[in-house]
Structure 1
Amino acid sequence: MNDTLPTSEALRAALAGLLDGLPPKQAAQAVDRLIASYRGTTPTDAPVLRDRADVVAYAAYRMPATFEAVRAALDALREAAPEWAPATHTDVGGGTGAASWAVAGAWDGTDTTVLDWAEPALALGRELAEAGGPPGLRAARWQRARIGSALELAPTDLVTVSYVLKELTPAARTELADAAAGAAQAVVVVEPGTPDGYARVIEARDRLIAAGMTVAAPCPHSSACPIEPGTDWCHFSARVSRSSLHRQVKGGTLSHEDEKFSYVVATRFPVEPVAARVTRRPQIRKGQVLLELCTRDEALRRETVTKRHGALYRAARDTDWGDAWPPPEQD
């Protein structure tokens, strides 16, 4: 790790310092407005985060969850290409930099550029990074750019696009996916784990494949998704620890929450996708574990692992939603 604290803890500490003294009621009111904005139709000619109050509320409300979702996607990329590491990274629509924190935690020394059209978000992201980010993130460039059809991306090793596509028109989403594919060796797209978010991920996945990229995760293959449109959606879950202020802002009482997300990772270099991916939370019953899998032969299937399977059964009991199956040591 590239800091004295694990990156997730460093982010929480930086957020705590930022939010110290902010009345929870004021932050909660700003969060309510942002939730309403995100659930509605967002104009593509104006950023959602308009001023520092909005950005501070957003940081408390969304950064920990976005960080964990992107970190899970990056873990899948590292699993598929363990020897690869990006020297350069562009965080498109990165806002306050949650995805960039995740990249800084995954690889040491990555040279990051954050692009966003909201200057207050960029300013706060820079402030957070300088307050407690890993060394590479403290040296990041925070640049204002309109995220849409006019965006031009310089060549880079890694592009992340997290929780951005909903804010764009369909045409702009297509152009952004094409621009990312043309600029990067690896592209990571993360969206909310809803039917609409999954649909946007599938659109991006199709564009990345059409541009000659290979799917590294979560899919075990680069063929069409086997889910029949409208019947289901592919999504995963990441556990997010909440600070006391975070609980106040979000109106929750638990020490954690589960962030549901959909994602795709595509690359221009060789990868080894998993043989199968667990696509739902495993059902543990007496003497057996039921696994819902997406497999390398482009199919969805259920696998029942029982005590008779010995070590495989024990591995199944420890397997989580989103994990590879079988585990590496069981291949």
Structure 2
Amino acid sequence: MNASHPSADSLRAALATVLDGLPPRQAAQAVERLIANYRGDTPTDAPVLRDRSDVAAYAAYRMPATFEAVRAALYGLADAAPDWAPATHTDVGGGTGAAGWAVAEAWEGAARTTVLDWAEPALALGRELAAGAFEAEWRRERIGGALRLADTDLVTVSYVLNELTEADRTALVTEAARAARAVVIVEPGTPDGYERIIAARTLLVEAGFTVAAPCPHSGACPIAPGTDWCHFSARVSRSSLHRKVKGGSLPYEDEKYAYVAAARFPVTPAPARVVRRPQIRKGLVQLELCGPDGLGRDTVTKRHGPLYKQARDAEWGDAWPPEETA
């Protein structure tokens, strides 16, 4: 990737700039209060983002994790359609624009992004952060069932469905399917988040889309409802604000997320997907996989030659087998 294109490092640098001068204690208190709000621990009529300081603190806390999760989902789409790139991108409920940064990296700034959100302070900060990094329009729109989207190549909806009613979720995904050639939806990697992803995936398939990732097929998910959930993990470098708020000392944390990427154009999904952390034992690697025939396990040993080294290097969420050996 050309260094001039947005990246995780350039996003962190932009966030550091907007946090400059904001007392760390004030930033940490703002994040703690906002987390409590989103968990439902504060009155629903309390303002979520009261001012620029609130937005800056929360952006510094959440944008890197959202960026990493969305970027991973976008690369799933890009791997399944290597000859396709969006010229236009609409980020629904995008707030400060983490998905816009991820799209700009995945396709080297080829797409013009439109960020839709109701919170004006978030849009204002997003505009400030993205200045000079990628081309974008920031527009105030109420996100819900009445939203109407302009036709676009790509729609992203990240960490938004959990804030909507079931009816509004259905309406939003249906509208995204009408307006876009490709749709990428990301939710928290929890059982509830997975259920929302499966519901959205069903709507997209019914609308004529083909699942590009993470699934190797567009059929029904093989996981029996209530027994497990499909999710993945993205490593996020922790800022000092992350460590202060969470009280941790590690320089990183793992963001758990669930996603679906689907398209109206031809895609080539992975032959299978690694759906759990690979288990490395002496002389063998056990891979839990989801394939066209459902869930299964592949045991790769030293006798498999070069494939064994690739299995040792495989990570949760990777396609399997690697392209060069598929």
Tell whether the structures are fold-level matches, with TM greater than 0.5: yes
Please state if 1:9 is matched with 2:5: no
Q: 1:328 aligns with which of 314, 317, 323?
A: 323
Q: How does 1:12-23 map to 2 (within 5 A)?
A: 12-23=12-23
The CA distance in 2 between the partners of 1:88 and 1:42, in whole Å, is 38
Structure 1 match to 2:73: 73
Q: Is the 8 A contact 1:24 1:249 kept in 2?
A: no
How far did 1:234 drift? Answer: 0.3
Aligned residue identity for 2:214: P
Q: Is the 8 A contact 2:36 2:42 kept in 1?
A: no
TM-superposition CA deviations, 1:228-248 (whole Å, max 9, x none): 111100000011112334422
Structure 2 match to 1:239: 235
Give the alignment's TM-score, normalised by structure 1: 0.94
Structure 1 match to 2:295: 300
Give the match's secondary structure for 1:234: coil
Structure 2 match to 1:318: 313
Q: Is the 8 A contact 1:61 1:250 kept in 2?
A: no
Structure 1 match to 2:198: 202
The CA distance in 1 between the partners of 2:177 and 2:48, in whole Å, is 26
Q: Is the 8 A contact 1:43 1:167 kept in 2?
A: no
Structure 1 match to 2:208: 212
The CA distance in 2 between the partners of 1:180 and 1:30, in whole Å, is 33
Q: How does 1:137-156 map to 2 (within 5 A)?
A: 137=134, 139-156=135-152
Shift in alpha-carbon separation, 1:50–1:66, aligned structure 2, 3 A: same
Name the count of aligned residue pairs. Answer: 325
How far did 1:269 drift? Answer: 0.2
Shift in alpha-carbon separation, 1:251–1:289, aligned structure 2, 3 A: same
Q: Is the 8 A contact 1:47 1:117 kept in 2?
A: no
Shift in alpha-carbon separation, 1:217–1:259, aligned structure 2, 3 A: same
Deviates more, 1:100-109 or 1:273-282: 100-109
The CA distance in 2 between the partners of 1:35 and 1:16, in whole Å, is 20
The CA distance in 2 between the partners of 1:195 and 1:203, in whole Å, is 12
Aligned residue identity for 1:118: A
The CA distance in 2 between the partners of 1:320 and 1:246, in whole Å, is 25
How far did 1:44 drift? Answer: 9.5
Deviates more, 1:18-27 or 1:315-324: 18-27
Consecutive unaligned residues in structure 1, runs of 5 or more: none
Spell out structure 1 runs of 4+ moving beyond 6 A. Answer: 41-47
Q: Is the 8 A contact 2:5 2:104 kept in 1?
A: no
How far did 1:33 drift? Answer: 1.6
Q: How does 1:1-331 map to 2 (within 5 A)?
A: 1=1, 3-4=3-4, 7-40=7-40, 48-107=48-107, 108-130=109-131, 133-134=132-133, 137=134, 139-297=135-293, 299-331=294-326
Shift in alpha-carbon separation, 1:202–1:42, aligned structure 2, 3 A: farther
**Identical positions, percent:** 74
Aligned residue identity for 1:251: G
TM-superposition CA deviations, 1:114-134 (whole Å, max 9, x none): 00010010000001111xx52
TM-superposition CA deviations, 1:243-279 (whole Å, max 9, x none): 3344224432111111100000010000000110000
